[in-house]
Amino acid sequence: MARFIFITGGVVSSLGKGLMAASLAALLQARGYKVRIRKFDPYLNVDPGTMSPYQHGEVYVTDDGAETDLDLGHYERFTGVSARQSDNITSGRVYQNIIQRERRGDYLGATVQVIPHVTDEIKKFAVSEVDDLDFVLCEIGGTVGDIESLPFMEAIRQLRNELEPQQTLSVHVTLVPFIAAAGELKTKPTQHSVRELAALGIKPDVLLCRTEHPLPDGERRKIAQFCNVRPEAVIPALDARSIYSVPTQYHEEGLDEQVLRSFGITDAPEPDLSRWQDVEDRYFNPEGEVTIGVVGKYVGLQDAYKSLNEALVHGGLANRVKVNIEWIDAEIFEGEESDIAAQLEPLHGILVPGGFGERGSEGKIASVRFAKDRKVPFFGICLGMQMACIEAAQSAGISEASSTEFGETKEPVVGIITEWMSEEGLQQREAGGDLGGTMRLGAYDAMLDGNSHISAIYGGAKTISERHRHRYEVNAAYREPIEENGLLFSGWSPDGLLPETVERPDHPWFVGVQFHPELKSKPFDPHPLFAGFVAAALEQSRLV
C-alpha cells in the first residue's frame, strides 16, 4: 500500500519545497523504500514548454517526452528514479482534459464544476500508477493562500479523508525570518501560514521551518504549541553549504524519523547515507579547480540552465575538482568591437548550451571558432552542436551557412524536420504548427561510430539513449563540406538520417551532441560526457 506525503509551502515562494521533497525521498530511499515524487503546478499553461526560461527556469524533459517543471530534475538527481509524464500535472492540463470530455458529452449533460470534476481529476492523477511504491511525495506548487492552488488544496483535503488512516501525511514548509533590528527570530509568519492551511481543512503533521539562524528550543516549542504539532515535528532547515548536503542535514534534524513516526512506522531500517557522504567529501575536498565558460542566451537567470549547472558540478565530482562557471552572454561577442579573446582566453573549457532563436547566435559561432582555433576543450549541446556545424560550413567556404530557425537562408545547414521515426513509429508535424509539444522530445537512441572519441567516452558503447528537445536538425546534405573542414559526424539516429554527434579528431576535446546529456546526470552517477569534458578542462588548466 502506497503512502502519500503532501508537501505545501507558505509565507513566501522559493523556500525550497522541491529540494525538500527530493531530499526526503532520498532519505526514505536510503532506508530501502521505493519512492516516487510528483509535482502539481497551479498555472494554466498545459506544460512549461512554451514558457520563457526567464519566467519559469529550465524545462525538464523526461524519457517519455514530457516537458515538465525543473523540480523534476531535482527529483531525478536525488533519487535516480526516472520521472514520467504522469509525475507532473498543471491546472492547464487538468482543465484541458475536463473540457475535452465536456465537448465529447462524457458528462451526460451535467454541470461541470470545480467540485467534483476538477478535484476528481487531480485526485486521479495523484493515485495513479502507485501499486509498486512505498511512498508517493506530492509537491504542490505556489504558496498556501494563492487562488490558483485552491483546487489542489481541496483535492488533498478530500484524499486525506478518503484514503486509509495513516496513509497520508502533510508536510508544510514555512519561513521563520530573522529581524535584524530586533535581533529576533519571528514565528508569527509560520503561525499565520499554518492557520491559513488549517482554514482549508488541512492539518500539517510536520513543519519544516526555513531559517537563517538556529531555531532555539523555546521558539520550536512555541511553534508547536500554536500550530498544533509535536515539538519534535518542528524541523529546523538552515541554509546548507551545498544542495547535496541537504539530505544528511535533514536526517540529522530528524525529518525522515518524524515522517515515519507520523505514519506509525517504528521499525524502519537505519538509512545508508554512504553515497551522500561520498558526494559531500568530493564536493568539499576538491584536489584542484577548473573554470568553464558557458556562452549562452539566458545567462541572466541560472535556473534557465539548472540541469546544466548541476551536471558540470557532477563532472567536477567525478574528477574531484571544483568547477567554477563563468556565465557569458553570447551577444557580447557580436559586433566589430567585441574582444572575444579577453573573455575566453582565461577559460579551461567552453560550453555552448541549447536555446531557441537567433539572438546571440553569431556570438556562439564566434565562441566555437575560438575553441577550435585555440584548442580549448569545447562542448556543444543541442543548439551548440548546430552552431559548431554552421561554423564548420562557413570555414569550408559556405559563407551564408545558417539555420532556418533564424530566417530564410540559401544555405540551410540546420533546418526544421517534419517527420522522424520513434519507437511508436513515424512522427509528423507541421512546420507552422503550435509550438507546444511539436519538438522531438524524450529519449531516442543514437548509433555511435565504434572508432569515435564519443564512443570511447561512453565506454565503447555503440548504441546510447539520450533525451532530446528541439525542432531543428543538422542537414545531412552538408556532411561533405563539414567533414572536409575536420568536423566528423560520429553518431546518427538509427535510420541514419539525423546527425546526433560530431567531433574533431585533431582537437584535444571537441564534441557536439544534438541531445541534452545534462538531463541524465546525477551527483552519485555523473554523466560520462560531463566527466570527460571536465577532465579535458583539467588537463587544459595544466597547460596554461
Cell of 52: 520563457
How far out from the chain centre does Cα 45 lie?
Answer: 18
Q: Which residue has the cell 562557413?
A: 394
Residue 170's φ and ψ, nearest 5 degrees, are: -115, 125
Other CB atoms within a 10 A radius of the CB of residue 95 amount to: 18
Catalytic residues, by residue number, are 382, 516, 518
Distance from C-alpha of 492 to C-alpha of 480, rounded to nearest angstrom: 15
DSSP string, 260-308: HHHTT---PPPP--HHHHHHHHHHHS-S-EEEEEEEES-TT-GGGGHHH
Contacts of 87 (CB under 8 A, 6+ apart): 36, 37, 38, 39, 62, 66, 68, 72, 75
Q: Which residue has the cell 579528431?
A: 505
Which residue type, as a one-letter code, is found at position 109? G
DSSP 141: P
Distance from C-alpha of 526 to C-alpha of 279, rounded to nearest angstrom: 11
Distance from C-alpha of 95 to C-alpha of 46, rounded to nearest angstrom: 9
Among candidate residues 514, 523, 521, 465, the one with its CA nearest the CA of residue 490: 514
Element (H, E) at 440: strand 440-448
Listed in order, strand segments (DSSP E) in 85-191 are: 88-90, 135-140, 168-175, 178-179, 184-185
Helix (H, G, I), strand (E, B) or coil at 64: coil
How far out from the chain centre does Cα 448 lie?
Answer: 26
Distance from C-alpha of 165 to C-alpha of 429, rounded to nearest angstrom: 48
User: In the chain, what are the helix, strand and coil shares in percent, each to the nearest 5?
Assistant: 40, 25, 35
Alpha-carbon dihedral sign for residues 248, 251, 253, 259: positive
DSSP 88: E
For the chain, how many helices (H) and strands (E)? 18, 25
Q: Which residue has the cell 521558539?
A: 219
Q: Are strands 463-470 and 440-448 parallel, antiparallel or unpaired?
A: antiparallel
Q: Are strands 60-61 and 472-474 parallel, antiparallel or unpaired?
A: unpaired
